[in-house]
Structure formats: C-alpha cells, structure tokens
C-alpha cells in the first residue's frame, strides 16, 4: 500500500485527514510535531506528505526545507495545510519547497480526490 | 500676546491634540484589527474540523463512528464559542456532587499565565492531545507522556503539580507507574488522578481521585484544581 504522512498537532484535523486517506485505501502515518514528521519521512519515505504549518518543535516550513535539502528524499510530494491564507504565507510555503498549499477549512472529499490524482491507486 | 498670537497658539494646540487622538485611535484600531485577524486565523482550525467531519458523515459511516464524529463536531463548536468569548453549554452535567465542586479562580484559569503544571499520561495520543489542549486553554502548563516510563521521566524532570494517569496502558500500566512514583522520593509527593473506563477506588490505588472516561471537561477542571489544593492523600 502506498503511504501518506499526515502532520498536524491538532488531533481532530489529523484524525479526519487520516480517516479519509485510509478509506481510500492508503497506509497512513501520523506525526504531531515537526521533529516526529522528519523522523517518519526519513524512515518511511512516503510519496505524499500533508504538512501543517504551525507545529511544535519544528514548523511545517522547517520540515519542508529539510525534506527538500535531503537528496535521499527526492520526489516526495508535499501539500501544506494551514489556516494561514495570506499571499505572503503562500509565497513562503513555495519558497520552502511545497508543491501545493491548501487553506483551512478544506474539504476532505476534495483532498481525497487530490490524493488519488497524486498517488494513483493504493 | 496679541489676539492673533493667542488664536495661533490655540489653533496649534487643537491641531496637536487632534494628531495625538488620531494616533491613539489608529493604534487601538490596529491592535483590534490584529486581534480580530488572529481570532479569524485561530477559528479556522476548529471550523475545518467541523466541516471535515460533516462531510465524512455525509459520505456515510458506521454507527459508532457517527456518534464519535458528532461528538467531535460538538466539541469543536464549543471551542469556537469559547474563542469568541462565549460559554459553551454543550457538556453534560456530572450530577449533584459536581455542583458542590467550586473552581478557585486563582488556579490556572487565566490564559497565558500558567501557574500550575499537569502531567497527562495516556497511551491514546488523541486523548493526550485533547486533554493537553483543554488544560492549556484553562491556563495550566501541560506535560504529556504516552507510557509509564515516559511518565516517570517527565515527573522527575518536570515536577508537575498533579498527574493525570491512565490506568490501562500496555507494558507498564497505571498501577505500576503509580507504585514507582510513590517509591521515588522526587515524585512521591505529587498527587495523582487516575483515569479509567471502569470504576476504580482511588484510595486503594494510592491516588487522590479517579475520573471515569469519557472525561467531562468541567469535572476534570474541578478535580485537578481540588487535588492541587489538597495534595497527596494520607
């Protein structure tokens, strides 16, 4: 099964996104802070990472930058999920290396469709 | 001073006064705009949870999941209400004894000024995070541990004022963790509240109190506050 890493310190957001991904048939890894997220990315090499910006220990920006700077983690698709919707925040996310930027509140149905578009069948 | 000079002095004084008042008003408005922007940002997360679970429910789930997700929607709606300064009334009453319990205002009820520390121990990370968030919103500093060994370490290092300890945990359960806390001089004086899905006698375990899961927020707050004040049972 293809893996998705979901990173968010809000447990309900984490659970809802993980629920949608599992229902689609993907294997879901979860992290509640940036340090945990990086550990899992390095261990599991998931093809898709859903990354909240505001996380403890290391932010989503820092996690994204570290993933992009590691040649062993090439090819991982990163979607940032965040309540920050300003253009400057999006620009910063793009500068950090995110592939996409989704503002909360978001539709899990549409996020699920996007997972399928990126990963294909589980 | 002739009348023109007096008039000029008066006019300059009025102009300066207007500049000062405008500056203060602009500063206050800017603070208010900033506060509202922060509130809007903070509201998006619980709103996102509500919309997500509403959509998940619409797509169809089992009965157990339906009840749980509806509970989450209610919880997040109450959280939004609290953020906007309201007093959400969604939590269930715990019974007549709960009404006797008063919550002193000086114990960790002022957001941003943590005065007491609570160590939350549970192998369910969702429970741990939910309790942590609630306690932090109420002004407590919250430490977390996902197993007994972590709990012992956090207790020794963090010296919490009270420990919320799940009874049923794998590897080292709550009973063994409590025994080791009591055996260690550096942690023996920390009062413990046991949490369990079954009825447990607190005194038989060496704990100050027990709370039945699912834990009601007001009951938790009253228990933590009371135990901090009363300390370890003799």
Please say whether the beta carbons of A112 and A20 come within 8 A.
Answer: yes
3-state secondary structure A67-89: HHHCHHHCCCEEEEEECCCCHHH
Question: To 10 degrees, the CA torsion angle through B75, B81, B83, B84?
Answer: 170
Tell me what pLDDT residue B19 has. Answer: 79
Residue scoring higher pLDDT (B155 or B84) = B155
Q: Measured between CB atoms, which of A11, A13, A32 is closest to B48?
A: A13
Please say whether the beta carbons of A81 and A51 come within 8 A.
Answer: yes
Confidence of residue B108 (pLDDT cuts 50, 70, 90): very low
Confidence of residue B115 (pLDDT cuts 50, 70, 90): confident
Minimum distance, in Å, between the CA of residue A3 and any CA atom of chain B: 21
Among the residue ranges A72-81, A110-119, B211-220, the one predicted with the least confidence is B211-220
Mean pLDDT, range B94-119, rounded to an integer: 49
ipTM for the complex shown: 0.82
Portion of chain B with pLDDT greater than 70, in percent: 79
Peptide linkage before B214 cis (omega within 30 of 0): yes
- The Cα-based distances of A85 to A105, B120, B202 in angstroms read 10, 33, 48
Measured CA angle at B231 (ends B230, B232), to 5 deg: 125
Residue with tokens 């900033």: B34
Two structure tokens written together for B21: 């008042």
Two structure tokens written together for B78: 């109450």
Q: Which residues of A touch B143 (CB under 8 A)?
A: none
Spell out the alpha helix ranges (H) of B92-161: 96-100, 125-137, 148-158
Residues ≥6 apart with Cβ < 8 Å to B122:
B128, B131, B146, B164, B166, B169, B195
Dump pLDDT digits (tens) for A8-44. Answer: 988 888 889 999 999 999 999 999 888 899 999 999 9
Query: d(Cα A12, Cα A51) in Å, to the nearest integer?
Result: 14
Mean pLDDT, range B113-121, rounded to an integer: 80
Two structure tokens written together for B16: 């300066």
Q: Measured between CB atoms, which of B48, B56, B126 is closest to A106?
A: B48
Dump pLDDT digits (tens) for A38-60. Answer: 999 999 999 999 998 877 778 88
Confidence of residue A84 (pLDDT cuts 50, 70, 90): low
Minimum distance, in Å, between the CA of residue A41 and any CA atom of chain B: 20
Confidence of residue B202 (pLDDT cuts 50, 70, 90): low
Q: Check whether B99 has a pLDDT greater than 60.
A: no
Residue A9: strand, helix, or coil: coil
Minimum distance, in Å, between the CA of residue A86 and any CA atom of chain B: 10
Q: Do A108 and B49 touch (CB under 8 A)?
A: no
Dump pLDDT digits (tens) for B27-69. Answer: 777 777 777 766 676 788 888 889 889 888 888 888 888 888 8
Q: Do B126 and A11 touch (CB under 8 A)?
A: yes
Q: Measured between CB atoms, which of B55, B75, B76 is closest to A108?
A: B55
């Amino acid at each position: 099964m293809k893996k998705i890493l979901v990173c968010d310190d809000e447990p309900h957001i984490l659970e809802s996104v993980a629920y949608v991904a599992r229902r689609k048939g993907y294997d879901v890894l979860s992290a509640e802070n940036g340090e945990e997220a990086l550990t899992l990315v390095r261990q599991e090499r998931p093809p898709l990472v859903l990354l909240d910006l505001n996380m403890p220990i290391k932010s989503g920006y820092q996690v994204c930058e570290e993933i992009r700077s590691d040649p062993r983690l090439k090819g991982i698709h990163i979607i940032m999920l965040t309540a920050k919707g300003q253009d400057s925040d999006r620009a910063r996310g793009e500068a950090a290396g995110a592939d996409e930027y989704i503002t909360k509140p978001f539709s899990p149905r549409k996020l699920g469709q996007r997972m399928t578009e990126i990963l294909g069948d589980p | 001073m002739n009348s023109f000079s007096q008039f000029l002095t008066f006019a300059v004084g009025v102009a300066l006064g207007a500049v000062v008042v405008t500056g203060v008003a602009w500063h206050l408005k800017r603070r208010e705009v900033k506060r509202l922007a922060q509130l809007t940002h903070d509201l998006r997360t619980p709103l996102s949870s509500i919309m997500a679970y509403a959509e998940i429910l619409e797509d169809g789930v089992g009965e157990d999941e339906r009840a749980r997700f509806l509970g989450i929607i209610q919880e997040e709606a109450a959280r939004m209400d609290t953020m906007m300064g309201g007093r959400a009334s969604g939590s269930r009453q715990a019974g007549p004894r709960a009404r006797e319990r008063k919550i002193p205002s000086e114990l960790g009820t002022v957001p941003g000024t943590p005065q007491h520390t609570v160590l939350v121990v549970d192998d369910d990370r969702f429970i741990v995070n939910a309790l942590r968030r609630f306690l932090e919103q109420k002004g407590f500093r919250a430490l977390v541990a996902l197993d007994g060994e972590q709990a012992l370490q956090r207790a020794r290092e963090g010296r919490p004022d009270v420990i919320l300890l799940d009874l049923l945990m794998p590897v080292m359960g709550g009973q063994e963790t409590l025994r080791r806390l009591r055996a260690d001089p550096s942690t023996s004086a920390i009062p413990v509240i046991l949490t369990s899905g079954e009825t447990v006698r607190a005194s038989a375990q060496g704990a100050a109190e027990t709370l039945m899961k699912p834990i009601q927020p007001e009951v938790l707050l009253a228990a933590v506050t009371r135990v901090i004040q009363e300390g370890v049972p003799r």
